[in-house]
């Protein structure tokens, strides 16, 4: 991505400029590129910096929405099956359970299963006794359990893979560049003004797509368009290891903290749902009250969570849209706004709402609209063509032990890593990240600092939260970027960012780790 091929040129005319490099933007860029559109994707930070990287990592089967939103459920199951095929490397087929506790009763379950079947979701009622035996960590008070094809998906890798494929099909990706304003020609949006470290630049495109999640509202205002959005904050907790190998949901009306997902080597519990003002969307700290709520509910699913080490807490913000503007009819569904039709502003489209699971579909809908506007007839192929890394199944048990984790994360892309010599050196012990993987990520994804790096290879996301690898990682990054003087800054920034997630859960072993971390780095003149 950092390669010269993806560097946009100001003079180049684009068919479409996509603003917002989350999963939706990356999927849209890929779809556009596959259909031959000249495409530019702009992201103000690194890819996946917003809500796309701050969620459960759950590939919904649709079961959660079967009762309340049958259409959403149908979309989910369809996309679930597609992603398992095209993004096999980012998806782990864990399966999901919906458990009923005595206070839930079994009435909901009966209706739930019927609604799942109506939506085409293969939901199967299981014998709760058998579930208790086979998954001993599950709350042993369960009176019912239903299996559904939920899965775990790595949102970072999925976004990366889409962006990579977009680039490989001719798209440009511009990161760390913030759209300040639109270029207008009469009432028409014909491009964007972008601020980056290189200064202000202008890019022109026939169509501009806002896929910036909650930040789309603010951007749209600049084009004179009002989208009524409600930032809804969702807090989550990361537990130190896999407590269960399946996704566990509560079989009742969706509520707070009723899903736990196995993600790579950790478990993620969430989420809460609270309206927040727009000015908090850029810096979200999880509160003690949220942590307490999450834990109180989480132990209903898996009681041993009460004794499991919590690594950190984080929050993301859902872009809920209340079309009609009265705030009552809030939708979690896909919202595609053609501003030419809706507001009389040609050249601007907003895609928002939806879910991680349905991002590909959102991109397809958006690209269909773009093509019709551009008068291009091209079939969507994103449901059929495998993503980079997922082209063919990777036999994991090959080569050095420490290349296993890298190949697990990057699939067949792992072939591009050089595990010879110092390449096999383990840098992050918790998440088993080798120097080879780090160097690959720095080169492939245009990494700017350690926070970026971790999104691409999980470095520092494990038990010790970077305490042990941050220094080594900073040295490698600074060396690769050719600016050794930056190493200290990388460490400082990274620790500060990890600290933000650790402090809401600062007790038990996490407090021990914090003391250890402070002992090493607490004084600004720490050794580097």
**List of residues contacting other proteins (CB under 8 A):** 240-242, 262, 264-266, 285, 288, 291-292, 295, 304, 306-310, 396-397, 401, 404-405, 408, 426, 429-430, 432, 462-464, 467-468, 492, 495-496, 499-500, 503, 506-509, 511-516, 518-519, 521-524
The smaller minimum CB distance to other proteins, of residues 163 and 305, is found at 305
The smaller minimum CB distance to other proteins, of residues 161 and 305, is found at 305
CA dihedral for 40, 354, 238, 98, sign (positive or negative)? negative
Report strand pairing: 13-19 vs 199-210. Answer: parallel
Number of H helices, E strands in the chain: 15, 23
Least gap, CB of 300 to other proteins (angstroms): 15
Long-range contacts at 504-508 (CB < 8 A, ≥ 24 apart): 504/285, 504/286, 504/287, 504/288, 504/290, 504/291, 504/312, 504/313, 505/237, 505/291, 505/310, 505/311, 505/312, 505/313, 508/309, 508/310
The smaller minimum CB distance to other proteins, of residues 287 and 331, is found at 287
Least gap, CB of 502 to other proteins (angstroms): 9
The smaller minimum CB distance to other proteins, of residues 34 and 405, is found at 405
CA dihedral for 431, 432, 435, 440, sign (positive or negative)? negative
* Residues 94 and 245 sit within 8 Å (Cβ to Cβ): yes
Least gap, CB of 437 to other proteins (angstroms): 14
Least gap, CB of 456 to other proteins (angstroms): 19
The smaller minimum CB distance to other proteins, of residues 5 and 519, is found at 519
Distance CA 24, CA 363 (A): 6
* Residues 249 and 63 sit within 8 Å (Cβ to Cβ): yes
Distance CA 323, CA 144 (A): 38
- Closest Cα partner for 47 from 390, 433, 445? 445
> In 378-521, where do the E strands start and end?
426-428, 433-434
Least gap, CB of 77 to other proteins (angstroms): 26
Least gap, CB of 433 to other proteins (angstroms): 12
Q: Distances in Å between the alpha carbon of 6 and those of 80, 170, 304, 374, 477?
A: 30, 8, 47, 23, 21
Least gap, CB of 238 to other proteins (angstroms): 12
The smaller minimum CB distance to other proteins, of residues 29 and 464, is found at 464
The smaller minimum CB distance to other proteins, of residues 72 and 240, is found at 240
């Amino acid at each position: 991505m950092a390669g010269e091929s993806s560097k946009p040129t100001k003079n180049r005319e684009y068919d479409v400029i996509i603003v917002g490099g989350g999963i939706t933007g990356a999927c849209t860029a890929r779809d556009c590129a596959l259909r031959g559109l000249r495409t530019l994707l702009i992201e103000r930070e690194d890819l996946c910096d917003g809500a796309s990287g701050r969620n459960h990592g759950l590939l919904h089967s649709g079961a959660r929405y079967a009762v309340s939103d049958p259409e959403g459920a149908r979309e989910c199951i369809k996309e679930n099956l597609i992603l398992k095929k095209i993004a096999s490397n980012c998806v782990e087929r864990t399966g999901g359970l919906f458990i009923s506790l005595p206070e839930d009763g079994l009435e909901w379950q009966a209706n739930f299963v019927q609604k799942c079947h109506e939506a085409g979701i293969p939901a199967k009622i299981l014998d709760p006794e058998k579930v208790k035996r086979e998954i001993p960590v599950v709350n042993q008070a369960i009176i019912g359990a239903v299996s559904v094809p939920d899965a775990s998906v790595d949102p970072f890798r999925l976004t990366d893979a889409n962006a990579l494929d977009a680039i490989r099909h001719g798209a440009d990706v511009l990161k760390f560049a913030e759209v300040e304003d639109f270029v207008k020609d009469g009432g028409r949006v014909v491009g964007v003004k972008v601020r980056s470290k290189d200064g202000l630049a202008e890019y022109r495109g026939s169509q501009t797509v806002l896929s910036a999640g909650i930040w789309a509202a603010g951007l749209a205002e600049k084009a004179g368009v009002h989208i009524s959005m409600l930032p809804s904050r969702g807090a989550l907790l990361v537990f130190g290891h896999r407590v269960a190998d399946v996704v566990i949901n509560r079989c009742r009306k969706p509520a707070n903290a009723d899903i736990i997902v196995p993600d790579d080597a950790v478990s993620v519990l969430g989420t809460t749902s609270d309206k927040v003002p727009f000015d908090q969307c850029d810096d979200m700290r999880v509160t003690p009250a949220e942590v307490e709520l999450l834990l109180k509910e989480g132990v209903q699913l898996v009681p041993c969570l009460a004794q499991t080490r919590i690594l950190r807490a984080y929050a993301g913000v859902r872009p809920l849209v209340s079309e009609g503007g009265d705030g009552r009819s809030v939708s979690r569904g896909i919202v595609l706004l053609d501003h030419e039709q809706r507001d009389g502003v040609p050249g601007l489209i907003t895609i928002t709402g939806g879910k991680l699971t349905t991002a590909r579909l959102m991109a397809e809908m958006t690209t269909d609209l773009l093509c019709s506007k551009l008068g291009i007839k091209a079939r969507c192929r994103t449901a059929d063509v495998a993503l980079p890394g997922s082209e063919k199944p990777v036999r994991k048990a090959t080569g050095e032990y420490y290349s296993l984790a890298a190949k697990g994360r990057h699939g067949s892309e792992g072939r591009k890593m050089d595990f010879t010599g110092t390449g096999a050196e383990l840098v992050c012990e918790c998440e088993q990240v080798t120097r080879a993987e780090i160097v690959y990520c720095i080169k492939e994804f245009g990494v700017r600092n350690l926070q970026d790096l971790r999104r691409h290879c999980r470095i520092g996301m494990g038990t010790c939260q970077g305490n042990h690898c941050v220094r080594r990682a900073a040295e490698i990054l600074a060396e690769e970027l050719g600016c050794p003087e930056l190493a200290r800054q990388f460490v400082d920034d990274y620790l500060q960012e990890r600290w933000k997630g650790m402090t809401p859960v600062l007790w038990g072993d996490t407090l021990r780790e914090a003391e250890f971390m402070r002992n090493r780095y607490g004084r600004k003149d720490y050794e580097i």
